[in-house]
């Protein structure tokens, strides 16, 4: 049994504002959830011919009163088809409420670093990037992590490794869509609970507790973030980044 990636979830002090930005930018529907969160359902897998953004997982934005304590452990790299397309996407993001962000990329950088209205970092990548070819508008979800964490997630999701070199690892679903990448050491120090995390669920018919035990056997460990009788399990990967295992009925 393996887990399915359901969503990339963002803590936000104003989830409605951040969700509205991404819904308009990615052309996704906004769905309000009972817990006050907002989901943007996936528009399906696919490459550049896909009418959606090519990501086979939802985005979720949930209320959180905690302030940011540093860069997020994950960010999007978004693709472009031409220099004009890259400029148009940057202009569209700024129009919707994004802002330019200086993370030391320098004036000669060919990618554009932005932050959404909640301060979440993302990049619009220059055209012709072979690494992101055929990955869709969301080219990859880039994370800070060791090779051990890349191997863990490959086994957890049953996604093959598509890169394993010089401490950097990447996986991609056999169905296509974005890659998930880890940049290797040195790792940034962790500053409290992550504000962006992955949500998983057992495949239909799977048992939540049994799947949690499998993930722990692969290198995860339980963590306490204050959850009580919530009906799901909070774990952390080998680098200590939290993720949630939700009941398969959530699908």
- Residues 148-194 pLDDT 10s: 999 999 999 999 999 999 999 999 999 888 999 999 999 988 878 89
Extract the tokens encoding 103: 């993370």
- When pLDDT is averaged across residues 95-104 and rounded to a whole number, the result is 94
Residue 35's pLDDT is what?
A: 83
Lowest mean pLDDT among 108-112, 164-168, 245-249: 245-249
Determine the Cα–Cα distance for residues 8 and 153; give it in Å rounded to an integer. 14
Tokens (6 digits) for 144: 């800070």
What pLDDT, on a 0 to 100 scale, did the predictor assign at position 120?
95
Q: Quick one: CATH architecture of 3-65+72-182? A: Roll (3.10)
Cis peptide before 186 (omega within 30 of 0): yes
Stated pTM of the model: 0.91
pLDDT at 65 over 60: yes
pLDDT surpasses 90 at 145 = yes
Give the position of tokens 């670093």.
113
The whole-angstrom distance between residue 165's C-alpha and the CA centroid of its chain comes to 22
Between 96 and 67, residue with greater pLDDT: 96
Q: Using pLDDT thresholds of 50, 70 and 90, give the confidence band for residue 44.
A: low
Q: How far apart are CA 218 and CA 25, in angstroms?
A: 36
Q: With contact defined as beta carbons under 8 Å apart, do 182 and 168 qualify?
A: yes
* Between 206 and 20, the higher pLDDT residue: 20
Q: Give the total residue count for the chain.
A: 251
Task: Check whether 48 has a pLDDT greater than 60.
Answer: no
| Inter-CA distances, 187 with 96, 104, 239, Å | 32, 17, 9
pLDDT band at 229 (very low <50, low <70, confident <90, very high): low
Rounded CA separation 89/96 (Å): 11
The per-residue pLDDT for 37 is: 93
pLDDT class of 49 with cuts at 50, 70, 90: very low
With 60 as the cut, is the pLDDT of residue 54 above it?
no
Whether residue 15 has pLDDT greater than 60:
yes
Is a pLDDT exceeding 60 seen at residue 86? Answer: yes
Domain segments of the chain: what residues? 3-65+72-182
Residue 51 is predicted with a pLDDT of 43
């Amino acid at each position: 049994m393996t887990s399915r990636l359901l969503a990339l979830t963002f803590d936000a002090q104003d989830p409605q504002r951040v969700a509205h930005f991404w819904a308009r930018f990615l052309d996704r529907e906004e769905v309000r959830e009972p817990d006050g969160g907002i989901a943007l359902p996936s528009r399906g897998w696919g490459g550049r011919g896909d009418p959606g953004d090519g990501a086979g997982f939802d985005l979720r934005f949930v209320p959180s009163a905690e302030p940011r304590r540093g860069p997020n452990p994950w960010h999007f790299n978004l693709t472009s088809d031409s220099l004009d397309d890259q400029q148009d996407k940057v202009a569209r993001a700024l129009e919707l409420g994004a802002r330019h962000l200086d993370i030391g990329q320098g004036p000669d950088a060919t990618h554009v670093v932005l932050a959404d209205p909640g301060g979440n970092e993302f990049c619009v990548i220059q055209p012709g990037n072979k690494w992101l070819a055929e990955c869709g508008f969301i080219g990859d979800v880039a994370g800070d992590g060791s090779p051990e964490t890349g191997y863990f997630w490959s086994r957890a999701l049953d996604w093959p490794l598509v890169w394993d070199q010089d401490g950097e690892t990447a996986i991609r679903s056999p169905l296509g869509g974005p890659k998930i990448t880890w940049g290797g050491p040195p790792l940034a120090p962790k500053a409290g609970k992550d504000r962006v995390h992955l949500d998983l669920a057992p495949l239909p018919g799977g048992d939540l507790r049994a799947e949690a035990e499998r993930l722990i056997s692969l290198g995860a460990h339980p963590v306490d973030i204050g959850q009580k009788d919530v009906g799901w399990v909070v774990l952390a990967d080998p680098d200590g980044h939290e993720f949630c295992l939700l009941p398969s009925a959530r699908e």
